[in-house]
Every structure is written in C-alpha cells, then in structure tokens.
Structure 1
C-alpha cells in the first residue's frame, strides 16, 4: 500500500478560489471562540465556516506484510463530525472514540475532520459548502467510505452519497456493524439482527430510483416470474414487507429465549440468591474485573464491545453466603436506541440486580463523560434506582490527580486495577457489605441430624453466633422468610 499523496486543503482553496485559511477553512485545532468577539447568532462567523482537521487519527499501517494482509478486508474511511456544543476537547474526544469504533469495525482511518455549527445541516449534516471540501479529501486520500459522527436521516445519507460518490455510514450503523461481528450466542446474533433490520427499514434506498419501480408487466428478467406480473408492489414495498416479516420472526424467537433467561432469574429469586451486575462503558475492564473477582475465565480483549453475551458466575462471600455476579454488554455515548430495545432482555440482568458495579476507566481522557453516558442508558432501562458502587478501574495507568478528582465526585466508589489486583480486596469487602441482608431474625436450637439447615444458613442466611451444646446446635442470626419458616419449629 502506498501512502496517500500529500493534500493541503487550505492551499488548494486559496489557489482555486482566492480564499485563505482565515476566510473559510482552518487546519488543525483552533482556539475556542472568544465570547466577547463579534458573532453571527451565538457563534463567531469564523467558527461556523471552519472545517477542522483532527491531527493524529490516521491509522495507516506501516508493516508491509500487515498492509498486504489487511488491504484485502479494510475499508479506507474519512471521519466527519459536527460540533454543536461543549468544548474543543469534547469534540476531539468524540472524534477519537469514532476512530476507535471504526478501527474495531475493521477500517483504516485516513483523515478526520469536524465543523462547528449550531445544529447539523438538515440536508447534508455538514454545511453544504463543506461537502465539496470533504469530497476533495476523499478523492485525495482514496477513501471509499465516509463515517459521520451522529445518527443521520435517510435523506442526509442519500444526499451525501450523491455528492461524495462514496458510501456514507452514520455512527449508529457503525456500532450495529461492530455488534454483528462480535455476537457469538444465538440470542446475541438474533438481537443484533433485529436491531439492524429496524434501522434498515427506515433507510431503504437504491441508485437510480430502482426501488420505486413496480413489478408489473413482463418481469421474468427481473426475477418476478409467475405471480409477480401485474400492477404489483414497488421493490421498496416488497423489501419493507420482507423486513417486517423477518422482524416478527426474530421477535418470536427472542421471546422464547427470554423465557429461558427469566426462568433462571426466577429460580435465583426463589432461592433468595442476591445478584450483582457489572455495568459500564465499553472497554472499561468489566470482564477483567469479573475474572479477578470470581475466576470466571471469560474473554478479555483490549477492544470495544468485546463482550456482547452476558456471563453469570456463582460465587460466595467470605462468610459463605452465595450470590451471583454478571458481566454485561458495554455502553457507549449515543448508544443506538434500536440496540437498547433489542438487548432489553439482556440488560434486564442489570435492572433486576441487587447491586450494580459501575466500572469506570480511570485512565480515559474523559471519565466523567463515560459515567454520564452509562447512567443515561441505566435510566432508559429503568435501572437507575438500583444501588450503585462506582469501581474506578485501571488505577495502574491512571493519573493520581484524576483518581482523586473522581473519588471526590463519586464518594461511594473504590479504586482498583483488575490487571494488577490493586484494591480488589477492598472492592470485594464493599460488595459483600452491600448485598441485601436477610430480613427475619431467629434464635434456634437445631438437632445435630439437621446439618442440612446449618449448611443452608451458611449459604443463604447470616449466622451471628453458633454454639454446640449437649442438646444440639444453638444458632442466632438472620434468614429469609422461607428459610425462617423452616427454622420456626426449633425456635427458642
């Protein structure tokens, strides 16, 4: 693979239009607008006209053997964003995350640009004049795909493809593609396919208006054949009907799978087994933490959305009480609504938990933004009322000042490193202390032949004192209502 030719957008514009970089485009990061400077509306005119290059996000490979291997499967992409609110750092963090998502999907990022606007353009997302600048970047770099940092309307995608002559993909489609690559279980694959079909149904389109052509007349050459002649459906109507049929089938299949998951949850509730759910931003270290806490042995990978299929492990407290701990799918900013709906049965593991371990990447450039994004999804699945313990992970790689800031912002938190084991003992002790306690106090004298009750008390109750006497075992403590009922016959 040869390097793309050097391309100077500012020089090209100055040569062809007489504009310099102060008129329309700026390269690199510009300072935030001065609030006292003259402005049009709420923003400075120069800010509105700036199409900014994001430096350092190009991911072209250097090793020739790796290049030859990956060139066969990688899409070459240009990233485009619209910055509507927040600081320059917020815009850069969002673009950096989009680059990570693109790489996770198997793409090579060639260039990344964003524009400051009050709101995205309703026709082309970026300003109409900036589309020409993006097309020059696409042509110069040889990109075959443009990825937009937002959820675009079908008309916006169509308009951009018409003007850029390459494929346009929005953030939602990119995340759906990653989920499709990583789903392993039958349920996970069905959930992703359902989300993709729901997204696709609203965005059916084709080149040259071929989707609006009716299947009437002699259509043998088009594959219609017998039964397809006459004033039938348009192709887009046929495709939409097929998608609706497939969605209905997937919903039926998932309903059956949900029944199996609900049966397992009901069994845990009936046996009064507390549950802990590990939730958090993607790649925050949730699976590593589960492995460290329970020796689960689940896949750990330094990539976004490595875990899509939830894993539940049974474990015990230091005093012998049994509880479960579940790893769940990671969240991300602007997680597509279709995914939240499709994965609702999986995410119910979080909503039904007795305690949420909210894992945060302490080494990330914007951990507060990750916390806000996760809590937004937790509220959407009605899990925001579940008790929460913030676990600040990756302490070995984090700035101590950032850790101190997070601890002050989140007083109910612990700092750990799932990689080195730092803080794990404190985290476990905190989890065990916050598990729901049995509600009924008891004091009983159990015959020695009822060792089974002693064992169940160790697993599902709390033993405060235990004394072996000549008449049996004297026990005081707390138990759940069903177990307390069995103990009532031996009450003192």
Structure 2
C-alpha cells in the first residue's frame, strides 16, 4: 500500500460524523418512553470527580484524564477535576460529606451545569449527590452510553446501544411532584379525590418502567434476529476454511488505522474514543495466496459497562470466534500496561482469553527512544508499528500470516487444465507446498481443509 501520511484510509464517514455531532446525555424524566429520545441532558460545562481507592496517584489521575477524554468526545467542556482518597466510595454520595461541599464550591466557581463521576453510581448515590451539588450528575457508565449512542450508525449498533441505555435507565427512573402521579391509589385518593381516583392506581414511573421493559424485550428479539445474519456469514467463512483475524484493543489505540493500512478498507478514523462501533470485515490475501478475513471491532475501555458487554455480545463474538486476535496497544499512552490488562479482562468476559494473541504496539512515531526500549523489554514478542506513517506494517502483515492456522489435510493431486477453478480454490483456501505445470495437468502438493480435500479426492495421485 502507498505510504500516505496525510490520512488513514479514505475517511469515508469523517465529514458526516462531524456534521451530525450533537451534545446530548441521558434524561430520566420521561414524558412518554415510547416516543422520547432517552438522551436529552446537555453536557456542556462539566466538573469531574473521582475516588482513588487503590493503586498509585498517577493511576488515579490517568483514570480522571481518560474521563475527561470521554467527556470531550461526548461534546463537553471540562472545567475542573477533583480526586478524593478513600478506602471505598461513600455509599451515600460517592464522595465523602466534606468533599461534597468542596465539589459544590467548584461547580459554583466554574458555573458548570453537570458533574461527571468516575465510576458507576447507584440510584441513591446519584439522587443524593444531585441534591447536594444542585446540578445534574452523570456517572461514567451513562457517559459511555451517550458516546455509543452518538456514534452508532448501523441498525444493529443503534439497537444494541438503545438496549444498553434502557437496561441502565430502568433502576434510575425518578421524577418530582405532580409528574409522578397518573392515578392515585388507596387512601392517596382521599376525600375530594372523587370517583375514579381511588383504587390500585399506577404511578408515572411504574408506567414508564413497564413500557421500557416491553421495549427491552422487543430489542432483544430484534438483536437476536440480526445475530442470525451475522452467524450465517461467519458459518459461510468457516465452511470454506477461511481463517479470521480480529483486530481488538483499547479505544483509540489505532485499530481502524491498522485495518486501513492492511486492507485499504477506508474505515472511519478519528482521534476520539469509540469512533468505531460497527464492526468492519475485509478480506485479505497472504503472500502464499491464502485468503483470510480481518475484522475491526469496537474498542474496549477500563470498567466497560456490563450493559454494553451484554448488548454488544453478538458483535464481540467476532473476537471470541476468531482464529487470531491482533491486540493493538497505544504505545504513546501514559500507562499502556493498564490498557492491556483492561482489554484482557474483557477477553476473559467474552470467552476469548484462550485464542492466540498477537500484541501490536501502535503509535511508535509518537514515542521517545527510551520509552520504546521499555515497551520492547516489557513485551519482547510484540510487533511495533505506526499506522500513521506505515512503519512496521509489512512486519505486522508477515507476523499475522505466520500465525494463521494451517490447513489440516495434506493432498497431492493432478488437476486438469480445464479445472482452473480448483487451482484457484487451493491457492485461496489452502497452503501450496509445491506446484508444477506438466503435460497431463497441474501437479499440486498442498495442505487444505476437509471440505476442499473431499472435492479433490478424484484428482489424487
């Protein structure tokens, strides 16, 4: 491929992504859950708050810096960030009582309209913290869900994100005053309530929860139907013995850039977290003629919300059922080892921890020589590349080809010249060990899959 340093691929969706970007969050005050959009919270001016429970201060600061990146990706302006050292998050307000007052002062001083917590808050923590700081409070999970909702493009991706949002939303529905009442029940009707106001009744929140659960059930059915098409395509590749390679790793590590370099796919590349949600699969050709597929997958992140792992399980199966995982790491990140640990935790969650892994350290063009030596000493078997400049891409391609599974059955055949289609199949699906063009046909010694071996039985020599 040409060594083009001006862009990655054709950037087919980048202009559209920028044109459609909007600032949105999640609203829990629903007018009608069957019609409203669930992300109506403005995330414009935010203050971040984190609780440092373990590890070093640097690790805690890196986590808050990542939260700032997430907030900016969602369209926010980060004004301030606070970290509190505690053995565990406060069960009432996430941060301690004294820290709440300090957080409130920071919100007033910066004129922020939202607080984002670096963790998943329980419904009571969310409510209590909101009452104390007097502005909207969003946790890390809601923020990631919002980014996914902004970036989802395919029908399947949108359905998966909506499912994750609704699963997160159900226990956090809340309202105030009159908005809660649809019909009073029991003594709530009281004197003066009149006929029709007494009885079991149903609050607005109960109605919303019922409607959301109905919507969740429908989304699960829709996603299951979409999964059938994905499974059919995967089964077709497996039937034809085409090895699959999944490019996985931390968000913004450069997975899409590497796919573009390897295949010229023209996949969207953007310096933002979770730019890729909809997986892209492209066919590639090894130097020995064999075909294999490369799939770009959704990026992972530390403390990836379990709702997303559940909703995106059918997509993540591209990783779990691959023959090889190309695990991309951002070498320029302050703590790449933490990223590797976070990604491998997700691998374990989806049953992909037993699949062969090729570690790739990307962005070496942005790393100083001393750091490059440290990375090499930590991961001596890793391939170092720069998807931006093209450095190391040929070595990566060779490393992938070397780790592709070898066809199982050894065959020696004489293929008549009129059956050039069989020769093409052997080249694409098998490993050619020797080939000679003789008078009676093409003599081939190769290793092939079981299906192709059966097809070649009549040509054995």
The TM-score by the shorter chain falls in which range? 0.7 to 0.9
Is residue 103 from structure 1 mapped to residue 76 from structure 2 by the alignment?
no
**Are the counterparts in 1 of residues 361 and 382 from structure 2 also a CA contact under 8 Å?**
yes
2:93 aligned residue (106, 112, 124): 124
Which residue in the other structure is 2:150 paired with? 181
The 2-side partners of 1:188 and 1:229 are apart by: 44
User: Are the counterparts in 2 of residues 73 and 106 from structure 1 also a CA contact under 8 Å?
Assistant: no
Query: Do the aligned residues in 2 keep the contact of 1:360 with 1:390 (CA within 8 Å)?
Result: yes
Aligned to 2:6: none
1:380 pairs with one of 322, 336, 349? 349
Tell me if the contact between 2:183 and 2:197 (Cα under 8 Å) persists in the aligned partners.
Answer: no
Q: Paired residue for 1:64?
A: none
User: C-alpha distance in 1, partners of 2:48/2:67?
Assistant: 8
1:412 to partner: Cα distance: 2.8
Aligned to 1:134: 103
Residue 368 of structure 1 corresponds to 337
Is residue 2:454 matched to residue 1:491?
no
String of CA shifts for 1:155-211, please: whole Å, max 9, x gaps. 001001111110011100000011011101111010000000000001111234854
Shift of 1:227: 9.5
In the TM superposition, residue 411 of structure 1 has moved relative to its aligned partner by 3.1
1:301-450 residue pairs with structure 2 within 5 A? 301-450=270-419
**C-alpha separation in 1, matches of 2:253 and 2:139:** 24
Q: Distance in 1 between matches of 2:257 and 2:441?
A: 45
Which residue is equivalent to 2:124? Answer: 155
> Does residue 405 of structure 2 align to residue 463 of structure 1?
no
Q: Aligned partners of 1:315, 1:121: CA distance in 2, in Å? A: 52
Task: Kindly state the Cα deviation for residue 469 of structure 1 after the two structures are TM-superposed.
Answer: 1.6
Deviation at 1:238, TM superposition (A): 1.1
Q: How much does 1:349 deviate? A: 0.4
Q: Structure 2-normalised TM-score? A: 0.87
Residue number in structure 2 paired with 1:168: 137
Q: Partners in 2 of 1:77 and 1:112 — Cα distance?
A: 9
State how far apart, in whole Å, the 2-side matches of 1:400 and 1:206 are. Answer: 56
Tell me which residue corresponds to 1:51: none
Q: Distance in 1 between matches of 2:46 and 2:93?
A: 18
Does structure 2 conserve the Cα–Cα contact (< 8 Å) formed by 1:215 and 1:235? no
- Which of structures 1 and 2 has the larger relative contact order (alpha carbons within 8 angstroms, sep 6+)? 2
Q: State the distance in 2 between where 1:134 and 1:212 align.
A: 33
1:1-12 equivalent positions in 2, closer than 5 A: none
- Unaligned stretches of 5+ residues in structure 2: 1-21, 24-40, 189-194
2:243 aligned partner? 274
Partner of residue 247 from structure 1, selected from 203, 216, 219: 216
**Count of residue pairs the alignment pairs up:** 416
Show CA shifts across 1:26-71 (max 9, x none): xxxxxxxxxxxxxxxxxxxxxxxxxxxxxxxxxxxxxxxxxxx99x
Seen in structure 2, the aligned counterparts of structure 1 residues 73 and 156 have a Cα distance that, compared at 3 Å, is closer
For the 8 Å contact 2:239–2:451, the answer to whether it is kept is: no
The CA deviation at 1:406 is 2.5
1:195 counterpart SS class:
helix
The CA deviation at 1:212 is 6.9
Q: Deviations over 1:463-487 (max 9, x none)?
A: 1111122222211121111111122
Question: Residue 63 of structure 2 aligns to a residue in which SS?
Answer: helix
Alignment pair present for 1:205 and 2:174? yes
Q: Once superposed, what is the RMSD of the aligned Cα atoms? A: 2.0
C-alpha displacement at 1:402, in angstroms? 2.5
- Point out the structure with max Rg over C-alpha: 1
Structure 2 CA distance for partners of 1:227 and 1:388, relative to 1, 3 Å: farther
Map of 2:26 onto structure 1 = none
Contact kept? 2:43, 2:114, Cα under 8 Å: no
SS of the aligned residue for 2:418 comes to coil
Residue 16 of structure 2: aligned partner: none
Q: CA deviation at 1:361?
A: 0.4
Q: Please, what TM-score do these two structures have when normalized by structure 1?
A: 0.82
Return the offset for 1:231. Answer: 2.8
Report the 3-state secondary structure (helix = DSSP H, G, I; strand = E; otherwise coil) of the residue aligned with 1:396: helix
C-alpha distance in structure 1 between counterparts of 2:95 and 2:408, whole Å: 59
Unaligned runs of 5+ in 1: 1-68, 220-225
Secondary structure of 1:449 counterpart:
helix
DSSP-derived class of the 2:360 partner: strand
Q: Which residue number corresponds to residue 258 of structure 1? A: 227
4+ residue segments displaced more than 6 Å: 226-229
Partner of 2:81: 112
The alpha-carbon deviation at position 73 of structure 1 amounts to: 6.7
Q: Does the residue aligned with 2:80 lie in a helix, a strand or coil?
A: strand
Distance 2:433 2:99 in 1: 71
Aligned position for 1:477: 446
